[in-house]
Structure 1
Amino acid sequence: MADEAGAEVNTSSFSVVDRSFGGMGFVGLQLGLTLLVWASSGLIAVTILRSVSLSSQYFFWYLLNFVANIILFRLAYLVLAIWLLRKFAGTGTSFVSSPDVCFYSLMMGSFYRVVMHMSVLMIALERYITILKPLTHCYILTDRRIKYSIASTWLIASCYIVGFAVHRYVYDAPEVIVGCNVETFHVWRIYVSHMSVCTLVFLSVLVMYGHLHVIGRKHLRIIEAERRMFSLTRYQRSLKRSRVAFMITLQIFCVEVPVFIFGIMSLTHAEQLYARIAFLLVSLGQISQPAFYALFSSEFRKALKKLIKQAAVQPLDDLDIGVGMFRRDPRQENALERF
């Protein structure tokens, strides 16, 4: 939720030599962690796509959307890191003095946060409707509507990009910047919006999962009383998947909330240490995602073990993971299995 690229944009009162070598060392660390994040994100994507059970669940569609957001954000950051390396090779310093580069880092961090927030909200909504409407949710949550909801996360994030572009051309750029802060192009207005949306999403998700727990127990008692054994098994599976969704959502918030706080502190105080802490926290959270998914979801854990066994027998490049492999005949697929 904080701008990871801001770790090299903010400046401090260190000497030029210390800043140059220290800054480049941290740029190297960022590049190494970026490669690890890509590896963990790729592992999640391949595990989901290789499993028919996981790829048929809307919950994992949203996780794939979140993974795609991480990969795209890291790719955008790589552009900035390469620019920093080239600047160091030419001038001997790795610190950004251009307000436009600072603005770029803030903008791409904003895009990442919005997609992440909306994905978490859509996961909660999908689970809430599934539990609230156990008999009709398959008619409400269709493939087309889920795809539209995923596209909406990127559309809303693009609206924030438009807001950044407006601020860039309405306000004059400062000649010299001593740190990347919220006063640059008056982006504090957008950050106020981010804080409001983040708080609203966080509270909404907590309310939905709380109510979901209540209605889930109520419906479960009714199903047990009517002795509908098939419906009971299916509904218990839906409740278990909802608990998995809540635990993963809670893990995302536990990482992103401190990152957001440190990010705001780095922008308001122009302190490089806060930005570096935020970068390390969000990187560790993204790298550890496969472990968290395997810990919370038995289905993901089984699919991951199966993928590892297959990779041990033959090289991963030989595995057929083409798109055609995941096309399913709608007449043969049980739509309720998605939930």
Structure 2
Amino acid sequence: MQVVATTGQPQAAPLDAFELHEREMPTPGEWDLLVRVDAVSVNPVDTKIRQGAFLPSDQHNVLGWDAVARVERVGANVEHFAPGDRVYYAGEVERPGCNAEYQLVDARLTAKAPSKLSAEEAAAMPLTALTAWEALFDKLQLAQGDDTHQDQTLLIINGAGGVGSIATQMARQLTGIKVIATASRDISIEWCRRMGAHEVVDHYDLVANMQKAGHEQVDYIFNCHDIGDHWENMTTLIRPLGHIVAIAETQKSVDLNALQGKAVTFSWEFMFARPLHGADIAHQGRILATLAEHFDSGHLRSTLSDIVGPLTPANLGEAHRRLETGHTTGKLVLSAMPEA
């Protein structure tokens, strides 16, 4: 089978970072699905791993942790899946990713893909949707229902990104909380509004802009950007006994003690933590199954913003290049690898 792998040169520019390789067809383990990949999406974690995070950077790594695929074979312990099923998943960061013709994925981390979304629309969703769901409902412990959190506010920093886009939808559609998203460009402001944000505030001089909009403090903050860039903003804006959840690390020093006086809770969300540590990994399969129902019912919609092209080294490099500009809205997707 063919895969698009890194060149083993982590400092290479995105357009020079990938090449086509031939590898043996893998055999599914007891809990695995062997799938043929129909579409993939690119996430910031892909660019970080390409540059040396998590995996040995001098090897030919197959990246990609967002996919829709067709089941070809199932492992001995697999239930509820059969050849021909269309599934979607993020998978495990320590296993070869979905930038390939075929892939092995643990069935417990997958669910049947939303039937009303195209392969490309569905491929945009697993990693970001899992991240947003775990952050909102597992970490912040928001309650679902139109009548919940009606007197409370949620600030989503970087609302136009992949995670922020679906988090905005989830909070708006599945709870009663007021959603404030941050964005600065006209295109990203309009995108946040389309995703359902009640208000959009410029993240430059965030505290002043929040105050200008009438928000001295908020009950919850979901930071989808470098926490070091917004630490002082968050410690100022969070309400006493409030809760902050974040997904992006920082190279800057932050003062955790600044949260003590308000007795604020701070949580990390890292979608790969469950599969990395074997912590009830089936929880993610259940989340994806629930999300599929919401997509099919129209409560949630895909955050696909552009299909870059079929999965080739050049197109994958272009997707990485665009993602690294920091100016993408929604998700970038590639369709299936061209047949050899």
Shorter-chain TM-score range: under 0.3
Q: Name whichever structure is richer in helix by fraction.
A: 1
Q: Name whichever structure is richer in strand by fraction.
A: 2
Structure-1-length-normalised TM-score: 0.22
Indicate the structure whose relative CO is greater, using CA pairs within 8 Å and at least 6 residues apart: 1
Structure-2-length-normalised TM-score: 0.22
